[in-house]
Every structure is written in C-alpha cells, then in structure tokens.
Amino acid sequence: MFAVNNRKVFSVPLNTMCYCKIKAILKRSKTRVPLRRNYSSPAGVIGNDVKSLHSIISPPVAKIRNIGIMAHIDAGKTTTTERILYYSGYTRSLGDVDDGDTVTDFMAQERERGITIQSAAVTFDWKGYRVNLIDTPGHVDFTLEVERCLRVLDGAVAVFDASAGVEAQTLTVWKQADKHKIPRICFLNKMDKTGASFNYAVESIREKLKAKPLILQLPIGEARTFQGVVDVVNKEKLLWNSNSGDGKDFERKPLLETSDPELLKETIEARNSLIEQVADLDDEFADLVLGEFSDNFDLVPAEKLQTAIHRVTLARAAVPVLCGSALKNKGVQPLLDAITMYLPSPEEREYGFLQWYKGDLCALAFKVLHDKQRGPLVFLRIYSGTLKPQLAIHNINRNCTERMSRLLLPFADQHVEIPSLTAGNIALTVGLKQTATGDTIVSSKSSALAAARRAGRGEKKPGENNEAESLLLAGVEIPEPVFFCTIEPPSVAKQPDLDHALDRLQREDPSLKVRIDPDSGQTVLCGMGELHIEIIHDRIKREYGLETYLGPLQVAYRETILNSVRATDILDRTLGDKRHFVRADLEARPGEAPSSRAVIEYADCVSEDLVQASREAIENAVHSACLQGPLLGSPVQDVAITLHSLMIHPGTSTAMVNACVSRCVQKALKKAEKQVLEPLMSLEVTVTGDYLSPVLADLAQRRGNIQEIQTRQDSKVVIGFVPLAEMMGYSTVLRTLTSGSATFALEFSTYQAMSPQDQTALLNQRSGLAQVL
C-alpha cells in the first residue's frame, strides 16, 4: 500500500518511520539537554519526580495503559505524539516536524551509535498512570506489522485531520482495530487549520466508520479563531494562552451564566444529549439517570458520567471524541486525561487464551531491533506470568528454548534494568537471538503443551504440526506479497553478508519474504509494495553497508484453472535393488471458494490406511506443484484436487510418492484451461477540483475502474480500483499532473482475472514476443 505525501515519503524508510520520529523527538531533546542513561541501575531514584523503584517497576495493573496512536498519513500523529511525550515529561523540549530537523538527518546520526531502544514503545507516567505508547507503523505497506502491533494494544487513539475527516488509511486501520476489538478514542487534530470543521469530522466518523461518536468536547472557535475547548462533561472551558509558547499552561474555568451564556447553553445541550446517548448504551447508567436524575440531567455527577463513558468505550459501543491542535499546543493534556480515564487497563481486556496458561508466562514479541552494541533487542508484551532476567524461555513459533540476559524497562529518559516484570507490562529484553517479531513466548515447552491440553486442542488437525501451534498469539494472517524483484550483492564474496542482512531484516519485518529462484539461483525479495522493497534496499545499504542491485520490480501474479481435468501419472524406478512404483490418478478443478492453498480431497475408493501413511507426502506434493503454475510460473490458487486412486508398491519411498503426485498435479494443471489473476488495488486519490480531469484521464489509461467521486470540503476524492501492474511510479506521475497537490492511498484489494487481451499481451511480453510483434 502506498499512501503518499510526496513531500516526505521517499526520503524515509516508512516501516521505521513512525518510531524514527519518536526517536527524532528524543534526539532533539538529547542534543539540548544531555541525558544520562542507566542500563544497570540499582538506583532507587530515577528522575526527579519518581518516588520509588517499586512504583516504576510494578505499577498496579489497573493503572497501566498500553495504547497506540493510529492515523491517516499527515493527520498529525507525530506532532501529537511529540506533544504527549513533552507534556508527560518524557522529552524536555518541543520540536516541530517542519523545522528542518528531519527524520533522515536524524537517522544518519542515529546510525552512528546504533538503534535507540525506545523506538518501539515509550513508557511514561501521567497523573499516576503508567502509559506505554506503542508505535504502530503508519504505512499500510506494513499491514502485517500494524496488525501485530494492534495485537499488543489495549486501546488506541485515532488522530484525524479535522479538515479532512475520515480518510482512506483511517478506514483501513479502523477496520484492523475492529478486528482486534480495540477500544478507541478519536482526536480531531488541526482544529486551527483553514477548513477545519468539527461537525464535518464528527459526521464522517458517524457515516464512514459507522461508529457512534460521543462528543466530550466542543471547540472554542475553528480554524484561525480556534482558542481552546469546552469540556462537556464538566461544563468547563479550557483556554490556552497564545503567548504561552509550549502550551503547558492553560486555564480551566467553569462556564458561567454571566460570562458565557451562549457557550453554556450549547454545552448543556451537548451534555444532555451525551447523557442520553450513554444511557442508551449502558443499562447501569440508564438506571441511575432515570432513577435519580430524570428531572434534571444537569445534576448527573461528572464522575458517574465518566465511569459510564469508560464502560461504553470498553464495550466498543461508542467512541469518545476530543479535539485540538497539536501543532498549536492546544488540547493535548485533556487527550492524555482521556486516555487514562476512558481506555482500558490490561486487566479490563478479555484475552481468552489466558485461561490456558493459568498464570504461567505468556508473552508476545511485537518488535525486534538490532542494536550494534547489544545485539537483538526484543520488545515483549506480557499477558500472564512474570518475566525475569537470566530466564530460559520457550519460543512456540520456533520451537526453541533460549535465555534472555537482561530485562529493561524503557522508563522516561532512562532504561532501568529490572529484576522482574509482571503481566500487563511491556518489557525490553536483551539476549534473545532467535525470537522474531510475532513470536509467542512461554516459560517452557511443557508449559506450552499443558496450555495446549487445556485449550482442548489435543487432536491433530490436518496440516497442523503440533498442539502448540494452536497457541500462537500472533494469529495474524500474513498477507501475500504483491511485488518481487531479484537482489544481488556487489560481489559473490558478499553474498553471505547479504544473506545475514536479509535474515535480520526478516526477523524484524515478517512481511518481507526472501526466496531463491529455483531456475537462476538468484535471491528474490518479495514485499508488500514498491516502497517496501525500496526501503529494504535502502536499509541494507545504510545499516549493513552493502550496495546491492535490484532487478526490475515485478508484480506477483497468480494463476488458476477454469475447468475440471483429470490426469494420471506413473513413476516406476529401480534404485539399487529396490523398485519404487507409484500410480496416481487425480482431478484438478476450480475451487468452490477462493483460497490461496489448494483444497485436497480423497475419493472414497482411496484406502484410508494409504492416505494415513502418505498424507504428508501427498499434501506437500500438491502444494509444491501449485507453487509454479504452467503459464507464468506463478502460484496457482482457487483450485481443488481430488485424488481418485493411488497405488503404491510396498517399499516405495515417500519421496517417490511425492514426486509422482506432484508431476501428476502439474500435468493436470497444464491440460486445463488457464487464467492469469492480477492484483487489484483499491485506490483513493484526493485532489483539488481543478486537477480532477487530468487525474481521471490518467486513471482511465491505467485500466482504472472509478467507483465514486466524493466531495470533501474543497477537494474531490476519487475512489476506485486499478490493477497494480499499472501503478508503478504513480506517485511521480500524480505529482507532475497536479503540481504536487494530490495525495493517494493504494491498498491491495483482491486478485482478479485478466481480460483475454491483457492476458495475451502479458504472456507475449513474458515470452519476449512483444518485441517481435
């Protein structure tokens, strides 16, 4: 997925962009105020305002908030994060994303001393609460990583540009958060911007996200006149003095009939409808309101309303909406209050799998970074049990046991070495060399097996290797890469260095796939988008000092078949004094439901015993035969294979069974009527009216299918579908067509059948005929 603001995107490795920005913020403060790090702190006092080591290490779980910030590109996620870190005391000066201290500059410096470890999660305290702000990558080329990060959040803040409302990427991340059942609050940022409209943004949340907005604040002024917000729950106005610089100081005053009659009236109306809305969604609150306060909603105590809003948010029945301007330092402190007040603590979230562990350790590795001095640093979210340094842990995904050497807590401006960390917390571990992003960590193999037994998954399902597999926390579907290209080291001697770099990068980013081309032996990078591959290329150069060469970027096509065909194959081979004989008869047909893996069935006449003995060989054979289709050598999808008969002479090796079945499947696929499938992307282009025509004309040439053109404030939003193959280098073309004023978001939608003409053109091009014709 590309979501491009041309100003920035190509200069920054996007999958590291968000956390790099956090790092940038930290760095800025570091250059002005040298900070002392403490990696082996026995200290009882850390920082000025922290009372005891105990309160740092073990905050009561009810006071922990593990949250993420999600947004469409440019909505102001970084600026808001920066303000949050500043007001909470994490950083000591305020920077500006536009003031020239760019992320790229910063990264170059950062690289000289290795990766700063706060980058994936920062921990700070706000009014007695422990907040772990977990970085969610902003770019949907990194869908998988976004999902993995969402998995460890208990709540999220969705940041919107108040002049644009819900944008394409907001919708995507919102759906992902829905999937992971994450309670959210909305922050309508950029209230100071020309065109900002509180009502428009709220309506777009209602309409596009199908969410129920709970209006907890009203803006005082809009665009140029924006001065502050009204706290609807408490009937107070919060005003930031425009001369106060960093926005730390603001006035909180009750709304009075004498001084603010209009605003008070508006607020009371908003509060009453908020009370009605919450009462509709929460029975306990409804009972209270209808019982004690039915005559006068105005008397409903703020605390009761807040508690009910918390419950409603937790149940995901509605979303609290706040507003402000991060850039102008307005509205961020109340946002922090809302995070602690309305988003859930870890113990309020329901994690069904916890019952299987009965208090044993269960954690998810959600980020791996490589630090030059300390080696791999793994961020873990602890769901149950306790983590201790020097502890041997079992990694379910890799089925290995390894030992962590140190346990750190990235607290405020220091890293505190700690003796243990309990459930609900985010830990930073040193010494885990095999653990990769997305792995599930438990205390031992026997603990995993005991949990598997409790989960009642003792019986083995086809394709499942062991019981422990069912306990993997990640449970995230790995999206199929849509782009690939070959990558070559500068010399053959450097191939091991390249392999090493790719190995590390894959541990950090599981959506990156690396394979060896069976024909040429070349290394092939498979990624989620043009940008993803560019970023990997750039990181190999910058972080590993290797100048690599990329082959042309290719779209990952798929193939399928359109009719049923039957094929027979015999393998009869004598090796030494042993005869191996297999005869397979099978049918390949279009699958009933879309599926990237072939569905395998066995005819009744195939002996059950035979299938039991050779199931693994048969299934591996079918899946590997489907990896390379007969048209383009692309994976074959949406097919079903029925094995009608299988004869195996006694003594025949399973490798021979595999070879015969695989050949037979390939034979059948070759005989069938074949179809190329191409990745189809959903596209959203936001453009001002005067550039609409050239954008539409260009999309028509790209085989684009426009579904809708919406009006969003002063802009037009073109929504449609377009084949990925037509979108190479689109950002440059769009920039030229619109003088850099348009933005676009592109996201994988599905694989669609190519038209016969397009398919012929593609096949001719691949076989070199295009040049001849």
> Could you write out the DSSP letters of every residue in 502-517?
HHHHHHH-TT-EEEE-
Q: Is 139 annotated as a binding residue?
A: yes
Query: Which phi-psi region, left, alpha or beta, contains residue 271 (left: φ > 0; alpha: ψ -120 to 50)?
Result: alpha
Quote the CA–CA distance of 454 and 464 in Å, as a whole number: 17
Quote the CA–CA distance of 644 and 629 in Å, as a whole number: 22
Q: Is 302 annotated as a binding residue?
A: no
Q: Is 192 annotated as a binding residue?
A: yes
Q: Is 245 annotated as a binding residue?
A: no
Q: Which is nearer to ligand GTP, 335 or 659 (CB)?
A: 335
Residues in the chain: 773
Q: Is 190 annotated as a binding residue?
A: yes
Helix, strand, coil percentages, rounded to 5, for the chain: 35, 30, 35
Write down the least CB distance from residue 558 to ligand GTP, Å: 31
Write down the least CB distance from residue 79 to ligand GTP, Å: 3
Which helix (H) or strand (E) segment holds residue 567: the answer is strand 565-575
Angstrom CA distances, 413 to 90, 91, 124, 312, 443, stand at 6, 7, 9, 35, 30
Contacts 24+ apart (CB under 8 A), 408-412: 408/39, 408/117, 409/56, 409/57, 409/123, 410/117, 410/118, 410/121, 410/122, 410/123, 411/46, 411/50, 411/56, 411/123, 411/124, 412/46, 412/47, 412/50, 412/89, 412/90, 412/123, 412/124, 412/125
Q: Which is nearer to ligand GTP, 71 or 168 (CB)?
A: 71
Write down the least CB distance from residue 139 to ligand GTP, Å: 8
Write down the least CB distance from residue 207 to ligand GTP, Å: 22
Write down the least CB distance from residue 5 to ligand GTP, Å: 6
Q: Which is nearer to ligand GTP, 134 or 586 (CB)?
A: 134
- Name residues whose C-beta falls within 8 Å of residue 590's C-beta, 6 or more positions apart in sequence: 560, 561, 562, 563, 564, 638, 639, 640
Write down the least CB distance from residue 760 to ligand GTP, Å: 41
- Name residues whose C-beta falls within 8 Å of residue 516's C-beta, 6 or more positions apart in sequence: 522, 523, 524
Q: Is 727 annotated as a binding residue?
A: no
Write down the least CB distance from residue 163 to ligand GTP, Å: 9
Q: Is 54 annotated as a binding residue?
A: no
Q: Which is nearer to ligand GTP, 195 or 590 (CB)?
A: 195
Name the site residues for ligand GTP (rule: CB under 6 A).
Answer: 5, 8, 17, 71, 73-79, 97-98, 138, 189-190, 192-193, 325-327
Q: At residue 535, what are phi and psi to the nearest 5 degrees?
A: -65, -45
Q: Which is nearer to ligand GTP, 97 or 166 (CB)?
A: 97
Write down the least CB distance from residue 96 to ligand GTP, Å: 6
Q: Which is nearer to ligand GTP, 78 or 384 (CB)?
A: 78
Write down the least CB distance from residue 330 to ligand GTP, Å: 8
CB 716 within 8 A of CB 693: no
Write down the least CB distance from residue 247 to ligand GTP, Å: 11
Q: Which is nearer to ligand GTP, 654 or 741 (CB)?
A: 741
- CA 311 to centroid of chain Cα atoms: 26
CB 650 within 8 A of CB 537: no
Q: Is 563 annotated as a binding residue?
A: no
The β-bridge relationship of strands 64-71 and 155-161 is: parallel
Q: At what angle do helices 17-32 and 103-112 cross, to 10 degrees?
A: 70
Q: Which is nearer to ligand GTP, 102 or 466 (CB)?
A: 102
Tokens (6 digits) for 133: 């702000």
Q: Is 71 annotated as a binding residue?
A: yes
CB 231 within 8 A of CB 237: yes
Q: Which is nearer to ligand GTP, 137 or 344 (CB)?
A: 137
Q: Is 75 annotated as a binding residue?
A: yes
CB 427 within 8 A of CB 441: no
Q: Is 23 annotated as a binding residue?
A: no
Q: Which is nearer to ligand GTP, 226 or 357 (CB)?
A: 226
Residues contributing to the annotated binding site? 71-78, 135-139, 189-192
Residues contributing to the annotated binding site for GTP? 71-78, 135-139, 189-192
